[in-house]
Amino acid sequence: ETGVTQTPRHLVMGMTNKKSLKCEQHLGHNAMYWYKQSAKKPLELMFVYSLEERVENNSVPSRFSPECPNSSHLFLHLHTLQPEDSALYLCASSQEDTGSETQYFGPGTRLLVL
């Protein structure tokens, strides 16, 4: 499946590092999402972008900063993360305005914060 791609697939970073996660969707969708998946809280919705505007931010700490330059690309900028931020970060996309849209997930970036 190559509809939604994510890079890198694995990332190890120190607490003082700055890194970015990239997501690209090739499905022509108009909405994109960032999820965090960890053992303690599976599939936490972090951010939602609809038509390139952020429409939802679920109380995510400011050390996570999303960016959606166009409808096909979504970034998650990371800085001064904590060890508890280690998780699988999943990007998804969907076509809104149908009321029954399916979410297509990317393979995820597995992040380890040391």
Partner 1 sequence: GQQVMQIPQYQHVQEGEDFTTYCNSSTTLSNIQWYKQRPGGHPVFLIQLVKSGEVKKQKRLTFQFGEAKKNSSLHITATQTTDVGTYFCAGRGSTLGRLYFGRGTQLTVWP
Q: Which tokens belong to 51?
A: 């038509």
Within 10 angstroms of residue 61's Cβ, the number of other Cβ atoms is: 11
Q: Which tokens belong to 54?
A: 């952020």
| For partner 1, the closer CB: 1 or 53 | 1
Q: Please list, in sequence order, all residues whose beta carbon lies within 8 angstroms of the beta carbon of residue 92, skipping any fewer than 6 positions away.
A: 4, 32, 33, 35, 103, 104, 105, 106
Q: Which of 11, 21, 46, 48 binds partner 1 (CB under 8 A)?
A: 48
Q: Which of 21, 85, 106, 113 binds partner 1 (CB under 8 A)?
A: 106
Binding mask 85-104 for partner 1 (x = CB under 8 A): -----x-----xx-xx-xxx
Region of 21-29, 39-47, 62-70, 73-81 interacting with partner 1 (CB under 8 A): 39-47
- How far, rounded to the nearest angstrom, does the alpha carbon of residue 66 sit from its chain's CA centroid? 8
Q: Can you give the binding site for partner 1, defined by CB under 8 A?
A: 1, 42-43, 45, 48, 56, 90, 96-97, 99-100, 102-108
